[in-house]
Structure 1
């Protein structure tokens, strides 16, 4: 038995662990893993998902070779060479008949590994398709759009390790591991921050792990975050708590913002959001009075109505109070492996257009946006007949049937495709409809480094590492015997070979215009690169070379205390915008119902993560489905009593789009009038009808871009804060 320093990589957090590896008849096999308590970033953290990684690698349901659908409709094993050639031939035929935009690529959560990201982009470019979709537009699209409209502060937010106040909305980082608190070990960092005096403000309809530690918890009605932020801004302006010097030098639009928030008095917001007026005022004073503060919203906000507006108002709140890093401030993480510009104390100009530009979509009312093409309408683009229809879809590390809004339509779209290619380690609900399924190598079977987690800070303030940390680990274990597995990126590379395409990848993972210009590196299409070669390209130009990081197998801090936020450039005249016209128009309607008739429903259904599952992954692992194999319908006990319900009872949950069955579970920390359920459960039957609710129900069946609210900027349909009614379910 050998103990090795390793990176878990079950998800994208790249947790540093210690792995026990045994030699099993010449095959290196993972036996167990635990957190590395001596690691300087993760401090011993590991989760149940990661500790179950040995089970994943040798799971009975893991696919070990490509599958192809035969003429009888069954999926059968096929060698990877032949599967690549046949899949490429069908892709070629579709492109020749209908053009490259008849082929779409969907990049799921498991496609975020840097080698696959850069090869996927290169493949789409070489093929000529502009139909590239991702999870970004059904997860947190408002973040990207808000920054585009507000502008970016190149000094970023103050470091979490230096802040004395932090505001969290619709996010619970101790469970999600993303969204405000340092992701490597949120509980560890928060505990130490609170010891030095940091205070939390939490806006959430549930008394989450974060809310229990908050100085102020605004337990509001779901979907009223915009009203609350507008009310906080009004208090700050009325009490003259804003940073007038910072605003005069760096921002425009104060008059427009002040005029729009005037209606959001504490009393109005109290009635609208169901919170105490004095708590709203306390939150505003606490945030404005901080020496250094930061803000973060999560999926709960972005999947609810007005998500873009909420993200924009958070930017405005930050700017209003001047809570941006200034010249001379410390830089918690100046970058290790992710190439990036050094921070300076100045703004970047807002963009003139954040939506409404190419690529073209046939679905009326939807367009390409700064956060990408709207995934919520991809099924419509597949199902609508006529010229321009998407006929082929390549799914990389995602499960659309489980994760997309409107499960029924998503499933119909998968079945309507002329060609569906899925890259996934399991025969998921989506893969069951595929014409080809390619089984990839998994964590610890491939080299990996920490650049993926680090790069999150380049697109999301407050994310990524709070320290300058880097780590690299080679492949430590071997795939199962008699397997025919490819690296995930290798599937696209070999398809490109078969299609006679030339691939050119780019370095880095940043999309910020002020970061170093990426290198463009043509790949040798005769001699395939290795994953290590691609990692070298991704990290080219980084502050610390990958070769140096490799010299420290346990991971290391590459500190640079001399790097501080630099001064504003002499010729910079860029200013942040806190009065964007489109956002002010959205704010003017924020006291109205998001969609006509919302008030007729008794409950709002919101999302809730379970700690042991990663979206739809893990539901077939007994270690991860305790205490529930299903996704409970959590309710306040008083609501349960009102409807004569007990824990374990079945209820029918009805929305405009359809209905699902939920199994009730009591949660005293949940606001009355709210039901909380985890997404990505509920495998449909072969006929498309909902499956056994004791194995879960799909909340996506309640979402619709046809009969419910759709975010006008990003195109995301309402996926949380869904108006619903309930009745006891006799069949349950």
Structure 2
């Protein structure tokens, strides 16, 4: 710590090896303590907080899930408790779900139990571009257009001091029978009576008067609890944009919020004036610049946390209590039944999460071999290309192996993104078939994908 504190610059990064493992929340907390207590924050060469259009998460935990009592942090229910929230004999159990652009029947821990939970729902609606494992279980499937068939963007924009935003235009006409998510959401809200033409007409009229008049009208949503909850639909239905940018209407609301929250950084990027003027100018720049735009220029003197008092709240008693238990805690000790630790989901050169379903794109390791240390392979009497039986508390599978010096003794690894159905073909092992939902972080429920007790046996 003393060396870090005296360094001219310090950067650190944590990744899935600790984030999906025992004590993951505690490790993240200690990581932040290391940054802050060594003074490695808010000055050149150290960590920073950039101005963003959208906050990925606010860290607030005001509620708990109704059945398990799991903390809901930043509005997110821990994925490893969802099946329990559905399958419980509880009056407030989850009974219906809209699943959009995600595949919990394959991509969440304990897949068999998750599928059981999905099938027990009264209503399951899936919005996706593919007939996924989850879509096959649904009562209703609403086919969505792909990212090339609608305007779209990503909000993982963390550049500093200049931060960028890129609204990508539609490149292709949507495939027959598909709609953009924006259109699907709007139609659902209209069918439910949440918004109608009479509600939208004043906003459409304001839009015809120009950006400033429209911005003023949009501010009225701040005091309208009913329409404020469907603001994205109001924007989409009332702001008349070119067809290849139509879904980008929601960005106007984001620009307006950013202009009110961070006028200084936006002004340094060239979007000055009143918040309304800055928002209108920024939105038009986003629409006009097809390769993206610098929307904020930060200064080190303004790098502050977004807490109400603008201070970093280091003292978290529950995590300090957990820290105190470490000297007497033994984590993940090997047992006779499960002597190996399985990394259930390793990034490799031909894995792409589950974005590409067609297995033909994989030019090597098409079936996703189990990687194993040379000494362990010798002890088992197996070599690359041979098959072994891999067993966890949840399931047992037969998989070919790859002997690799990159693996430590006692550790084995399967790649992520495999086990997807494509036509009549299923290539590789779906790692979440082998994981247990109860193996999760006690604070925020993060699954322990990187530490799954396992047994490996030679197949005769």
1:11-47 C-alpha deviation (Å, 9 max, x unpaired): xxxxxxxxxxxxxxxxxxxxxxxxxxxxxxxxxxxxx
**2:440 aligned counterpart, secondary structure:** coil
The residue aligned with 1:474 is 169
**Partner residue of 1:719 out of 443, 446, 449:** 449
**2:11 aligned counterpart, secondary structure:** strand
Alpha-carbon distance in structure 2 between the residues aligned to 1:475 and 1:498: 27
1:218-253 C-alpha deviation (Å, 9 max, x unpaired): xxxxxxxxxxxxxxxxxx3xxxx1xxxxxxxxxxxx
1:627-657 C-alpha deviation (Å, 9 max, x unpaired): 1332221112222112111112222222233
The residue aligned with 1:323 is 40
**2:457 aligned counterpart, secondary structure:** strand
Indicate yes or no: 2:251 matched with 1:535. yes
The residue aligned with 1:304 is 21
Alpha-carbon distance in structure 1 between the residues aligned to 2:97 and 2:303: 47
Give the number of aligned pairs. 396
Change (3 A) 1:548 1:446: same
Change (3 A) 1:465 1:566: closer
Deviation at 1:421, TM superposition (A): 0.8
Question: RCO (CA 8 Å, sep 6+): is it higher in 1 or 2?
Answer: 1
Change (3 A) 1:558 1:413: closer
Deviation at 1:371, TM superposition (A): 6.2
Change (3 A) 1:679 1:612: closer
Indicate yes or no: 2:209 matched with 1:493. no
Deviation at 1:436, TM superposition (A): 1.1
Worse-superposed segment, 301-310 or 666-675 = 666-675
Change (3 A) 1:651 1:304: same
Change (3 A) 1:559 1:399: closer
Deviation at 1:527, TM superposition (A): 4.5
The residue aligned with 1:585 is 321
Alpha-carbon distance in structure 1 between the residues aligned to 2:84 and 2:302: 48
Deviation at 1:668, TM superposition (A): 1.5
Equivalent residues of 1:394, 1:421 under 8 A apart: yes
Deviation at 1:323, TM superposition (A): 0.4
Equivalent residues of 2:236, 2:249 under 8 A apart: no
**1:338 aligned counterpart, secondary structure:** coil
The residue aligned with 2:242 is none
Equivalent residues of 1:635, 1:667 under 8 A apart: yes
Change (3 A) 1:579 1:560: closer
Equivalent residues of 2:351, 2:417 under 8 A apart: no
Equivalent residues of 1:469, 1:555 under 8 A apart: yes
**Partner residue of 2:292 out of 555, 573, 587:** 555
Alpha-carbon distance in structure 2 between the residues aligned to 1:567 and 1:535: 24
1:244-280 C-alpha deviation (Å, 9 max, x unpaired): xxxxxxxxxxxxxxxxxxxxxxxxxxxxxxxxxxxxx
Matches within 5 A, 1:134-283: 236=1, 241=2
Equivalent residues of 2:67, 2:90 under 8 A apart: no
Deviation at 1:526, TM superposition (A): 11
Indicate yes or no: 2:92 matched with 1:388. yes
Alpha-carbon distance in structure 2 between the residues aligned to 1:419 and 1:390: 10
The residue aligned with 1:181 is none
Question: Structure 1 stretches of 5 or more lacking a match?
Answer: 1-235, 242-284, 341-349, 458-463, 505-517, 686-690
Equivalent residues of 1:651, 1:664 under 8 A apart: yes
Alpha-carbon distance in structure 2 between the residues aligned to 1:486 and 1:406: 32
TM superposition score normalised by structure 1: 0.49
Alpha-carbon distance in structure 1 between the residues aligned to 2:386 and 2:46: 54
**Partner residue of 2:355 out of 606, 609, 617:** 617
Alpha-carbon distance in structure 1 between the residues aligned to 2:79 and 2:37: 33
Question: Structure 2 stretches of 5 or more lacking a match?
Answer: 200-220, 223-227, 240-245, 260-265, 272-281
Change (3 A) 1:443 1:621: farther
**Partner residue of 1:408 out of 112, 119, 125:** 112
